[in-house]
Amino acid sequence: MKNPQGNSEGKKFASIEAARQIQDGMVAGMGTGSTIVFLIEELARRMREEGLKFVAVPTSFQSRILCLDLGIAVRDMQDTASLDLAIDGADEVDGALNLIKGGGASHTREKIVAAMAKEFVIAVDESKLVDRLGSTFAIPIEVLPSARSYVERAVRDLGGDPVLRIGVRKDGPVVTDNGELIFDVRFAPTVDLRAVDEAMHHIPGIIETGLFFDMAGKVLVGCGGPGNLSLKTLRRGHRED
């Protein structure tokens, strides 16, 4: 679930910088969530004022509808095999630029789009930076409804504590754009999450996890507050202010 402590000004600042990464003629993946709302709005402004022309490949109905409402051309994921660039937010980012995503229940599509892209760029505020993945967020996993009970038992056998995500302002569980369920899973701080991620990918019924290892090439971090905003750029292997 989303972090209510996030800095919206920092996210917006990072999103505006991320929008500058998109150039004329690109086909670009658009993630999901509040950070990407800022991104799409800034791209629409660039189209109006700068004449930018590009095609967006959205990862959710939410992002697709916003793009269409703002006049941005879209292409379906199923008709796309590669992207010039993909931009998304994240729920957590560690020092090696590994991520937890899925607070918006779109991580399966987001991971496919990230894999398609020549470059995968993340925009966040500084509250999303952590020393260890799982520090503030549980790990989302997307699960076939018919496998719910089996997956819950199998994840517990791996040492996880899975909780079915329940909808807000609706009865029953959250249902993804793919028609599946979400478990939010917590593991002990001592657990090797890479090993757990690999093991979960071998559990029938788990479609995808919200652990993104070795995928982000660059993370744009909005720091500070109103009147005192700055940008920090993190790249794999080194840091650039």
56 in a structural domain: yes
In this structure, are 21 and 107 located in the same domain?
yes
Supply the angle between the helices 61-69 and 34-50 in degrees, to the nearest 10. 20
What string of DSSP letters covers 55-87?
EEEESSHHHHHHHHHTT-EE--GGG-S-BSEEE
Q: Are residues 123 and 169 in the same domain?
A: no
In the predicted structure, residue 38 carries a pLDDT above the cut 50: yes
Residue 232 in any domain: the answer is no
Cα three-residue angle 47-51-56, rounded to 5 degrees: 45
- In angstroms, the CA 99 to CA 79 distance is 26
105/179 same-domain check: no
Query: d(Cα 149, Cα 23) in Å, to the nearest integer?
Result: 46
**Residue 7 has what pLDDT?**
79
Does residue 145 lie within any of the structural domains?
yes
3 part of a folded domain: no
Q: What is the domain range of residue 12?
A: 8-131+213-224
**Residues catalogued as catalytic:** 110
In a domain, 40, yes or no: yes
CATH number (domain holding residue 147): 3.30.70.260
How do residues 138-192 score in pLDDT, each as one tens digit?
999 999 999 999 999 999 999 999 999 999 988 999 999 999 999 999 999 999 9
| Statement to judge: residues 21 and 65 lie in one domain | yes
Say if 233 falls within a structural domain: no
Angle between helices 34-50 and 8-19 (to 10 degrees): 40
Strand pairing category for 27-30 and 55-58: parallel
Q: Are residues 121 and 159 in the same domain?
A: no
Q: Are residues 58 and 120 in the same domain?
A: yes
CA-to-CA distance for 145 and 149, rounded, in angstroms? 9
Confidence (pLDDT) at 58: 98
